[in-house]
Chains A and B, each alone.
Chain A
Amino acid sequence: MSTIENVSRRRFLTGGVIATGALVLGVRFYSKLSSGDRLPHDTNADRAKLHPSVYLGIDPDGTVWIVASRSEMGTTSRTTLPLVVADELDADWKRVKIEQAIGDKRYGDQNTDGSHSIRSYYDAMRIAGASARFMLIQAAAKQWGVPATECETDLHVVIHRSTGHKATYGELANAAAKLPVPRTEQLKFKPKTAWRYVGKGEVSYDLEALVTGKAIYGMDARLDGMLYASVERPPVLGGQVKSYDDKEALKVAGVHQTVPIDPFKQAPGFQPLGGIAVIAENTWAAFQGRKKLNISWENGANESYNSADYKNELRETSHKPCKVVRSVGDVEAAFAKGERTLEADYYVPLLAHAAMEPLVALAEFKDGKVTAWAPTQNPQAAQEIIGKELGISPNDVICHVTLLGGGFGRKSKPDYVAEAAVLSKKMGRPVKVVWTREDDIKFDYYNAVASMYMKAALGGDGKPTAWLQRSVFPPIPSIFDVNAVYGDPGHLQQGWTDIPYNLPNLRVENGPAKAHVRIGWLRSVANIYHAFAVQCFTDELAHAAGRDPVDYLLDLIGSPRTIDFDGVQYPNYGASLETYPWETGRLRHVTEMVAEKSGWGKRKHGRGTGIGIAAHRSFLTYVATVVEVEVNDQGEVRIPRVDMALDAGLVVNPEATRAQFEGAAVFGTSVARSGEITATKGVIDQSNFQDYPVARINEVPAQTNVYMVDSDAPPAGVGEPGVPPFIAAFCNAIFAATGKRVRDLPITKLGLS
């Protein structure tokens, strides 16, 4: 199908850049509901008079309704995507009202992860806005008896200059609604010179609500008659309740009853973990009752899991030949030549998300259907798992998406939403499940623990003649298949198979590792450990070769070229390599840019101070980062300054993008300084911010400068790409300042003090 039809005929579009090289519009269509079906939950956009797209409606009073179908967790996508619609519509932003979509396949994929909201929905937003503008112009031209080609739009009005006719969008909405929705080929998009909002940006639509405490997060959702639940879950993954005694729990004032939740069936996926829920009149009573539970657990096979032993296992695996996932030339032959070789082991532990809003969800089961309110990145997955758990159709689950108090990937996994639905069904009343911080840290889907073995041979000029790298980590697919032990292409691509260096001999390998905890996506995911190893090892080689790290890095990146992934499984973050080729010239450019902006080689660095560099492409965005550190005699590390240069293609909302990179430096600081989850006998050792510290105001970069390349390339990710190169540059700076090489994260293991 290549037409957009009126939504009442149940056809809708979803985004997708299918262009080559430059931005060209492409749309995919599919139908979901048969004609005559009622939508489970109409939006104001659906009900508006003029309604050319599921994302947009215009009322006769001039109000423009724009549907935000992606979740808002702080990246401002809830504002930035509607800005694209408003721009193409030539709408007055002050007349725009944004409404949050429920989970519904008619919006396409809603899983707000992978830094692709803008990339995947930019075209769909433009088409929505341009379609309405087209219809408004047609309606005005008809009314005035002039050719539509002579009419134009200006902020919320259609104008015919020669006759002086002018009509507002509101005045034209009724007449425009009677016209057919145009085909994409009929649309004329605004030239860049006419953009009002794209490239300029806007602050969050919710800004005032955010500073007045009126913003509604999942934690703030309330329903009349709702009960509160707190769940004691099996301390070891796959464990279950042997027996329990709730007598003391039931004595706590406000506690109504306890409810067992079944253990999950392998593999865990997004199922509830099981355990005993305490149901009470308020959150505090539920927490107190839970403390009085007496439960005897059957821990199961994962009781054998100890982090220290596991680290050794990963390392041993990485020292033996593993599965080859990319190979150029002949590494072994090159190593056999007897040139100087360097080897290094790098290690990154499990990491927890620790979003400021602990997991929480409210659900009501009624008449065989569920209505849920949750801070979820993935409402459609919530519908699916609730449907499975309750034996109902996902179409009988309405999932409202509240604001998210942070997500970072954890809230893509709706196990907590399913818990609320299961408990509501058992109680016959709405139930809000509130996770404590301890629950949030102990029952996470952790970023994988990873061990990386690196080896290089250096030629006479100091450049590598051969490069071998092996990574070993429990893969994310293990949450869906307990036998999955190798990295999947979607995560090996993240800074591993796509090492961008121009090397005569290169071998990239991956080894097996069995998961004993749930592994999941966390901001930047596998890029965190892969970029850490590659970019720190690069710095090691530069020093071994007696070269300046920036010059050396540029030498390895080589001259501008497009990486050939022939014979390599390289999904390119779900984007086509034609539209988003891997261009080393862009990585070079940001590296040169950040070196210049940071004053690399020009600033003086005294005793205990140093700077480090790293460059990395992830989520289709190229980033280079310079970090400056100061380490005092007590081993305390300060970060006076960070410089980040990025090429993310077209940047729709520069201010929000800047904020994402400032935040990435802080997120990276937490990973590098103190990020570590460990387990003893299968039980997670950490519990709250005292033993899983995250960076505070006195520990973060004092100043983060963000420089954006002005680019017309298609838009790429901005939420995640700032994290990986920050961590590596920070560790390289510590080496420059102290002569101590960070190979194990976090840096507390280095013994600086």
Chain B
Amino acid sequence: MIQLKVNGVAQSFGGEPEMPLLWYLRDILGMTGSKFGCGIGLCGACTVHVNGQATRSCVTTMRDAAGKEVTTIEGLEKNGLHPVQKAWMQINVPQCGYCQVGQMMQAAALLNAKKQPTDAEIDAAMSGNICRCGTYQRIRAAIKAAAGEMA
């Protein structure tokens, strides 16, 4: 049995240890906020936090997630909306929205590490997250807005 915490709740998993965390979250726990985009860690749609670090859940096996604390969009903020989510709404970032959960999880991790990231730091942190609708300009603006609110 693999033990882990998902959004603060203890969970145990007796299935295939090679199953990626993404499919455990989506198919087994029914938490569908984290998205499937590429399956090989190239697009960032599946980004969650594992022990506070932005992590591609599509290439993180359950074996690797054992004993860890996993945070998904469903648990990003216990009360209301996280500053990143508020900023995403304020700047009206999403178009189709499919990649945005991964974008916000990545951005939240960035802002945890860097209070006021520069454009270059934003690009470096966010370049693993693809948005095919092309909302990047707004993502950059929203990260700055969130940084302002968290300051």
Query: Are A and B a genuine interacting pair, yes or no?
Result: yes
- Give me the interface of A with B, judged by CB distance under 8 Å: 72-76, 203-204, 206-208, 210-217, 219-220, 222, 228, 253-254, 282-285, 287, 354-358, 403-408, 434, 436-438, 655, 659-660, 662-667, 669-670, 688-690, 694-698, 700-704
Query: Cα distance A185–B36 when bound, in Å?
Result: 51
Contact across chains for A356 and B134 when beta carbons are under 8 A apart = no
Cβ 8 A contact of A215, one of B39, B97, B123: B97
Per-residue A-contact encoding for B109-151, CB less than 8 Å = 1, 0 else = 0000000000100111011111111111111100000000000
Assuming A211-B100, A213-B33, A697-B139, is B92 touching A203 (CB within 8 A)? yes
Known A203-B92, A219-B35, A697-B126; further 18 A-B contacts with Cβ < 8 A:
A211-B89, A213-B34, A213-B74, A214-B33, A222-B30, A222-B32, A253-B16, A287-B39, A356-B98, A405-B98, A406-B98, A669-B134, A689-B42, A689-B43, A696-B136, A697-B123, A700-B134, A702-B119
Query: Cα distance A203–B97 when bound, in Å?
Result: 13
Closest residue of chain A to B19, judged by CB? A284
Closest residue of chain A to B142, judged by CB? A211
Return 19 A-B CB contacts under 8 Å, by A number.
A73-B96, A210-B94, A211-B93, A211-B94, A217-B98, A228-B27, A284-B20, A356-B37, A405-B97, A406-B96, A406-B133, A437-B39, A437-B40, A664-B134, A670-B132, A694-B130, A695-B134, A698-B127, A700-B137
Q: Which residues of B contact A665 (CB under 8 A)?
A: 134
B1 at the interface (CB under 8 A from A): no
Cβ 8 A contact of B137, one of A434, A437, A703: A703
Contact across chains for A403 and B97 when beta carbons are under 8 A apart = yes
Query: Cα distance A228–B23 when bound, in Å?
Result: 12
Q: Which residues of A contact B23 (CB under 8 A)?
A: 282-284
Q: Which residues of B contact A74 (CB under 8 A)?
A: 94-97, 133
Q: Which residues of A contact B28 (CB under 8 A)?
A: 282
Query: Cα distance A354–B37 when bound, in Å?
Result: 10
Contact across chains for A688 and B40 when beta carbons are under 8 A apart = yes
Q: Which residues of A contact B126 (CB under 8 A)?
A: 697
Closest residue of chain B to A437, judged by CB? B38
Closest residue of chain A to B95, judged by CB? A74
Contact across chains for B101 and A213 when beta carbons are under 8 A apart = yes
Contact across chains for A207 and B122 when beta carbons are under 8 A apart = no
Contact across chains for A207 and B96 when beta carbons are under 8 A apart = no
Contact across chains for B127 and A696 when beta carbons are under 8 A apart = yes
Top 8 closest A-B pairs, CB basis?
Answer: A213-B33, A666-B134, A405-B98, A74-B96, A74-B95, A663-B134, A210-B97, A213-B73
Contact across chains for A357 and B123 when beta carbons are under 8 A apart = no
Contact across chains for A688 and B139 when beta carbons are under 8 A apart = no
Closest residue of chain A to B43, judged by CB? A689
> Which of A228, A287, A660, A689 is the most central at the interface, judged by chain B CB atoms within 10 Å of its CB?
A689
Of residues 83 to 108 in B, which have CB atoms within 8 Å of A's CB atoms?
A: 85, 88-89, 92-101, 104
How many interface residues does B have (CB within 8 Å)?
58
Closest residue of chain A to B16, judged by CB? A253
Contact across chains for B96 and A403 when beta carbons are under 8 A apart = yes
Query: Cα distance A660–B94 when bound, in Å?
Result: 11
Assuming A282-B28, A283-B27, A356-B96, is B127 touching A211 (CB within 8 A)? no
Q: Which residues of B contact A228 (CB under 8 A)?
A: 27
Question: Smallest distance from the beta carbon of A701 to chain B beta carbons, Å?
Answer: 7
Closest residue of chain A to B77, judged by CB? A212
Q: Which residues of A contact B95 (CB under 8 A)?
A: 74-76, 659-660, 663
Q: Which residues of B contact A703 (CB under 8 A)?
A: 137
Of residues 9 to 62 in B, which have CB atoms within 8 Å of A's CB atoms?
A: 15-16, 19-20, 23, 26-28, 30, 32-40, 42-43, 45
Contact across chains for B135 and A662 when beta carbons are under 8 A apart = yes
Q: Which residues of B contact A695 (CB under 8 A)?
A: 134
Closest residue of chain B to A228, judged by CB? B27
Query: Cα distance A195–B35 when bound, in Å?
Result: 39
Contact across chains for B137 and A701 when beta carbons are under 8 A apart = yes
> Which of A207, A253, A663, A697 is the most central at the interface, judged by chain B CB atoms within 10 Å of its CB?
A697
Closest residue of chain A to B23, judged by CB? A284
Cβ 8 A contact of B89, one of A208, A403, A698: A208
Assuming A219-B36, A405-B96, A437-B37, is B89 touching A207 (CB within 8 A)? yes
Contact across chains for A206 and B132 when beta carbons are under 8 A apart = no
Q: Which residues of A contact B124 (CB under 8 A)?
A: 698
Contact across chains for A213 and B16 when beta carbons are under 8 A apart = no
Question: Smallest distance from the beta carbon of A183 to chain B beta carbons, Å?
Answer: 39
Q: Which residues of A contact B32 (CB under 8 A)?
A: 213, 216, 219-220, 222
Contact across chains for A662 and B138 when beta carbons are under 8 A apart = yes
Q: Which residues of B contact A217 (CB under 8 A)?
A: 35, 98
Question: Smallest distance from the beta carbon of B5 to chain A beta carbons, Å?
Answer: 18
Query: Cα distance A2–B28 when bound, in Å?
Result: 54
Query: Cα distance A663–B93 when bound, in Å?
Result: 11
Contact across chains for A211 and B104 when beta carbons are under 8 A apart = yes
Contact across chains for B130 and A206 when beta carbons are under 8 A apart = no
Closest residue of chain A to B84, judged by CB? A211
Contact across chains for A655 and B92 when beta carbons are under 8 A apart = yes
Closest residue of chain B to A203, judged by CB? B92
Assuming A75-B95, A356-B98, A697-B122, is B38 touching A689 (CB within 8 A)? yes
Question: Smallest distance from the beta carbon of A544 to chain B beta carbons, Å?
Answer: 34
Closest residue of chain A to B122, judged by CB? A697
Assuming A74-B133, A697-B123, is B36 touching A690 (CB within 8 A)? no
Question: Smallest distance from the beta carbon of A430 to chain B beta carbons, Å?
Answer: 14
Closest residue of chain B to A667, judged by CB? B134
Q: Which residues of A contact B81 (CB under 8 A)?
A: 211-212
Contact across chains for B94 and A354 when beta carbons are under 8 A apart = no
Query: Cα distance A75–B134 when bound, in Å?
Result: 12
Closest residue of chain B to A214, judged by CB? B33
Question: Smallest distance from the beta carbon of B138 to chain A beta carbons, Å?
Answer: 7
Query: Cα distance A285–B42 when bound, in Å?
Result: 21
Assuming A210-B100, A217-B98, A222-B30, is B42 touching A688 (CB within 8 A)? yes
Question: Smallest distance from the beta carbon of A18 to chain B beta carbons, Å?
Answer: 31
Query: Cα distance A143–B81 when bound, in Å?
Result: 46
Contact across chains for B135 and A283 when beta carbons are under 8 A apart = no
Contact across chains for A666 and B37 when beta carbons are under 8 A apart = no
Closest residue of chain A to B98, judged by CB? A405
> Which of B33, B73, B92 is the most central at the interface, judged by chain A CB atoms within 10 Å of its CB?
B92
Query: Cα distance A403–B32 when bound, in Å?
Result: 13
Query: Cα distance A696–B132 when bound, in Å?
Result: 9
Q: Which residues of B contact A704 (CB under 8 A)?
A: 137
Closest residue of chain A to B62, judged by CB? A284
Query: Cα distance A703–B119 when bound, in Å?
Result: 12
> Which of A208, A210, A665 is the most central at the interface, judged by chain B CB atoms within 10 Å of its CB?
A210
Q: Which residues of A contact B33 (CB under 8 A)?
A: 212-214
Cβ 8 A contact of B27, one of A207, A284, A659: A284
Query: Cα distance A231–B74 when bound, in Å?
Result: 31
Query: Cα distance A670–B134 when bound, in Å?
Result: 10
Contact across chains for A356 and B132 when beta carbons are under 8 A apart = yes
Closest residue of chain A to B36, judged by CB? A219
Cβ 8 A contact of B85, one of A212, A253, A701: A212
Q: Which residues of B contact A694 (CB under 8 A)?
A: 130, 132
Query: Cα distance A24–B151 when bound, in Å?
Result: 53
Q: Which residues of B contact A213 (CB under 8 A)?
A: 32-34, 72-74, 101
Q: Which residues of A contact B130 (CB under 8 A)?
A: 356, 689, 694, 696
Q: Which residues of A contact B129 (CB under 8 A)?
A: 696-697
Q: Which residues of A contact B135 (CB under 8 A)?
A: 659, 662-663, 666
Question: Smallest distance from the beta carbon of B107 to chain A beta carbons, Å?
Answer: 11
Query: Cα distance A568–B70 when bound, in Å?
Result: 62
Query: Cα distance A163–B48 when bound, in Å?
Result: 61
Q: Which residues of A contact B19 (CB under 8 A)?
A: 282, 284
Q: Which residues of A contact B96 (CB under 8 A)?
A: 72-74, 355-357, 403-407
Cβ 8 A contact of A211, one of B27, B74, B88, B136: B88
Q: Which residues of A contact B34 (CB under 8 A)?
A: 213
